[in-house]
Amino acid sequence: MTYGCAEGTVDAGGSIGPIYRYALVVQDPQGNGYIGIIVTGRSIKAQADALSPLLNLLLGIGGGALLCAGLGGLFLANRALIPARLAWSNQQRFLADASHELRTPLTLLRADAEVLLRGRTHMQQEDISILEDILAETHHMTTITTNMLTLARLDSHQSHREHEVIDIAALTRRVMQRIHAFAEQRDITLEEQLTNNIHIIGDSNLLEQAILALLDNAVKYNKPNGKICVSTSIQHEAVHLKVHDTGIGVSTEHLPHLGERFYRVDKARSRQAGGTGLGLSIARSITVEHGGQLTLVSIPGQGTTATLVLPMARETPLAHKEALPTRTASRN
């Protein structure tokens, strides 16, 4: 009688090639153990040689089919996206053209209102209030159209971007000088901790607009007698420009949405402060255009810190010096 069996394939090499083996255990009929094992085998080289080209053919056909499917899918996807790209391009062109065309009548309307207000001594108080409302609304609409025009040009890469070496401290001081009067009106103190001789490559006009947007938000959403501290530093071969305010702050659920166009945490307060919901979008787009990033950290009731991270142009010996002494803007 027999007990147990096994089978398998082994490669004998040379001209023999693979061999199919079958082993059989033979037991003593008298029950006195096993007599032995019978092993038999047969070369399957001919079958393997016949199947090898078929396997290679199937692999080649399968690989070619996958490649053709991938290329065909990419081609069809590009063809399908052409209308979407065209619609996006037309939308950006429309926004740019509409914003550009709206700026002229808004400017004229604002100028007419200002001229009429010069003769307020001969006007009734009700008329004066109406003209002041018209002036405020035209200013608000002019800001929106200007911001929309800037965003449309950034999205379509139509704006001409300069590549110049910029001292980030000098540029920031220039922006702080522009915002100084606005901060004084709201009793906000401006402080700086700027390190000289830190340079970046970029467009000074665009970067000035981005920094101005951050400072403008820091003033608008600050508390009375609050502070704004602007500082620069170098971390991991990148320039970090921080704008920290002691304002109302933003709750955690709103932080991921800051920078979205027309997104405002408190629409009533933003409207009252003169916000349009486009400042951070412009700052983020300009930062990305310069190969950097904009991050926001905020604690409700304590303030917000906006950090502008830009690639450093070059490292100089003076770049690691301590920040200059803090300068505080005077207030009346």
Please give the residue that has the higher pLDDT: either 254 or 299. Answer: 299
Going by pLDDT thresholds of 50, 70 and 90, the confidence category of residue 261 is low
Mean pLDDT of the chain: 79
Residues 169 and 150 in one domain: no
State the DSSP string of 14-65: TTT-EEEEEEEEEE-TTSSSEEEEEEEEEE-HHHHHHHHHHHHHHHHHHHHH
Residues 176 and 291 in one domain: yes
Interval 161-192: pLDDT, tens: 678 899 999 999 999 998 888 888 888 999 99
Residue 305 DSSP SS3: strand
The count of residues in the chain is 332
Residues 206 and 133 in one domain: no
Sign of CA dihedral 311, 317, 323, 327: negative
Q: Is residue 51 part of a domain?
A: no
Please give the residue that has the higher pLDDT: either 326 or 115. Answer: 115
Structural domain range at position 129: 79-155
State the DSSP string of 213-256: HHHHHHHHTPPTT-EEEEEEEEETTEEEEEEEE-S----GGGGG
Residues 173 and 292 in one domain: yes
Q: Give the other-Cβ count within 10 Å of 311's Cβ.
A: 13
Q: Contact at 8 Å (CB) between 152 and 223?
A: no
Interval 12-37: pLDDT, tens: 777 777 888 888 888 777 777 777 78
Residues 180 and 318 in one domain: yes
Q: Contact at 8 Å (CB) between 207 and 181?
A: no
Q: Which of 125, 155, 185 is the last residue of a domain?
A: 155
Q: Is residue 9 part of a domain?
A: yes
| Mean per-residue pLDDT, 285-312 | 88
**Total of domains in the chain:** 3
Count Cβ atoms within 10 A of the Cβ of residue 76 and give its class: 0-12 exposed, 13-18 middle, 19 or more buried.
exposed
Residues 148 and 183 in one domain: no
Question: The domain that contains 92 carries what CATH number?
Answer: 1.10.287.130
Comparing CA positions, the residue from 213, 202, 194 lying closest to residue 284 is: 213
Residues 128 and 274 in one domain: no
For 173-207, b/e burial (b = at least 16 CB within 10 A) is eebbeebbeebbeeebbbebbbbbebbbbbbbebb
Q: Is pLDDT of 322 > 60?
A: no
Res 88: pLDDT: 67
Residues 321 and 173 in one domain: yes
Res 1: pLDDT: 45
Residues 207 and 321 in one domain: yes
Res 273: pLDDT: 53
Res 229: pLDDT: 93
Q: Is residue 316 part of a domain?
A: yes
Note the pTM of the prediction, 2 decimals: 0.57
